[in-house]
Amino acid sequence: MRAIVFDAPGRPLRALEREIPEPEQGQLLLRVHACGICRTDLHLLDGELEVAQAPRVLGHQIVASVEAAGPAREARAEQAEVRIPADATSRPAPGSLIGVPWLGYTCGECAWCLSGRENLCPRARFTGRDIDGGMAEFALADERFCFPIPAGYPDTQAAPLLCAGLIGYRALRMCGDAASIGMYGFGAAAHILIQVCRWQQRRVCAFTRPGDRAAQQFALELGAEWAGASDEEPPEPLEAAIIFAPDGSLVPVALRAVAPGGTVVCGGIHMSEIPAFPYSDLWQERVIRSVANLTRRDAAEFLEIAPRVPVRTSVRTYPLEAAGEALEDLRAGRFTGAAVLVP
Ligand SMILES: [Zn+2]
Ligand SMILES: [Zn+2]
């Protein structure tokens, strides 16, 4: 099979031929139909997040059909306690279309796993970082971490739901019932989330890089009440803000844009350093928090909501071999919406 691998930070991704892997106990062999790229892939490429074992196939927004299954896993008693949605515990049938997200394995035994916070499991393994991901013609996945793709989504349009959508949805949950939300960085996640927000009757202000008129226009088309540059103030103080851009200097900016009691959610896995700011900006019970990874509950909930909104994704497709080019286009902001590789 054809695969694209990461070797080391600063080195270009490399195409190679590999044997199709064999599924082991509890694993599925998947034929990849589409794989979304994500800013996390850039953090891996740049060495801001570590890949422990290289070469590694990146890619953690996989839409695939089930080609074969390994032997069944023995039932384990604690599965009931980690609150796995019922439909995620049955084995997907051969040929069925499933999605594989960033969360690829959790231990099921630690305090975090047993309290519904498996996203924080210290033994968690992540697709496309600790486990070979979707930048290939075939991939293996733990069947407990695969989800049915909602009906009505073309493969390429479903891919961005699996990270931009899922982790964005978790970030939105951290905003509580805020009626007005600012989104800093209007890319793949924000263009999905704004649709969920509008469906939930929340108002959205979109902040982009200064001068990025295309992204601002895109946000307005998707229902933003206001769109402007990240150094501008919103028309009125916001009840919450989500920062998707990996720029720590936006944290104090967003903090000044939220009203007393408001929350600023940092939605990315990595950010540049956050500059110092006066305590008065945090005063009045403003909150800054991060969002880490996802739980299977997030996935089940969001994939149930997405077709009801209905969330429509705007995607640019690239052939598998153009993975490096797609990632550089993401870095430079050369497209609106999301980018998806097709093997
Ligand atoms: Zn991602
Ligand atoms: Zn655990």
Strand, helix or coil at 323? helix
Question: Taking Cα atoms as reference points, which of 151, 143, 111, 135 lies closest to residue 28?
Answer: 143
How far is it, in rounded angstroms, from Cα 172 to Cα 181? 9
Phi, psi (rounded to 5 degrees) for 107: -75, -30
Environment class of residue 295 by beta-carbon count within 10 Å: exposed (0-12), middle (13-18) or buried (19+)?
A: buried
Q: Cα separations (Å) of 101 from 30, 161, 174, 246, 333?
A: 13, 9, 20, 20, 23
In the block, tokens 């990874």 appear at: 293
Backbone angles phi, psi at 262, to 5 degrees: -80, 155
- Quote the pLDDT of residue 89: 54
252 preceded by a cis bond (ω within 30 of 0): no
321 CA distance to ligand 2 centroid (A)? Answer: 35
Q: 175-290: same fold as 2-162+313-342?
A: no
CA dihedral 158, 117, 272, 275 (to 10 degrees): 130
DSSP bridge pairs for 343: none
Closest ligand to residue 111's CA: 2
Q: Which amino acid is at 184?
A: Y
Spatial separation of the C-alpha atoms in residues 9 and 28, rounded to whole Å: 30
CATH superfamily of 175-290: NAD(P)-binding Rossmann-like Domain (3.40.50.720)
Count of other CB atoms within 10 angstroms of residue 231: 11
Between the CA of 103 and the centroid of ligand 1 the distance, in Å, is 10
Q: Using the mean position of ligand 2's atoms as its centre, give its distance from the Cα of residue 112 in Å.
A: 6
Which tens digit of pLDDT belongs to each residue from 52-110?
Answer: 999 999 999 999 999 999 998 876 544 544 545 544 557 888 999 999 999 999 999 99
Tokens 């070469």 sit on residue: 55
Q: Which helix (H) or strand (E) holds 254?
A: helix 250-257
| CA 167 – ligand 1 centroid, Å | 8
Q: What is the pLDDT along the chain (343 residues), one digit of tens a residue?
A: 999 999 999 999 999 999 999 999 999 999 999 999 999 999 999 999 999 999 999 999 999 999 999 998 876 544 544 545 544 557 888 999 999 999 999 999 999 999 999 999 999 999 999 999 999 999 999 999 999 999 999 999 999 999 999 999 999 999 999 999 999 999 999 999 999 999 999 999 999 999 999 999 999 999 999 999 999 999 999 999 999 999 999 999 999 999 999 999 999 999 999 999 999 999 999 999 999 999 999 999 999 999 999 999 999 999 999 999 999 999 999 999 999 999 9
Which residues make beta-bridge pairs with 14? 5
Ion ligand 2 residues within 5 Å by Cβ: 106-107, 110, 113, 121
Counting other chains too, the contacts that 249-253 makes at CB distance below 8 Å and 24 or more residues apart are 249/274, 249/275, 250/184, 250/185, 250/207, 251/275, 251/277, 251/288, 252/277, 252/281, 253/184
Of 190, 292, 314, 286, residue with least CA distance to 242:
190
Neighbours of 142 (CB within 10 A): 22
Closest residue by Cα to residue 138 from 53, 42, 7, 27? 27
Separation of CA 113 and ligand 2 centre (Å): 4
Taking the CA of 117 as reference, the closest ligand is: 2
Which of the ligands is closest to the CA of residue 269? 1
Sign of the torsion angle spanned by Cα atoms 50, 321, 303, 244: positive
* 207 contacts 185 by C-beta, under 8 angstroms: yes
Asked whether the beta carbons of 25 and 72 are under 8 A apart, the reply is yes
CA nearest neighbour of 190 among 210, 211, 167, 209 = 167
Tell me the pTM: 0.94
Instruction: Give yes or no for a contact between 241 and 257, defined as CB atoms under 8 angstroms apart.
Output: yes
**Domain 2-162+313-342 listed as CATH 3.20.110.10:** no
Domain ranges of the chain: 2-162+313-342, 175-290
CA distance 188 to 169: 12
Among candidate residues 211, 249, 247, 251, the one with its CA nearest the CA of residue 227: 211
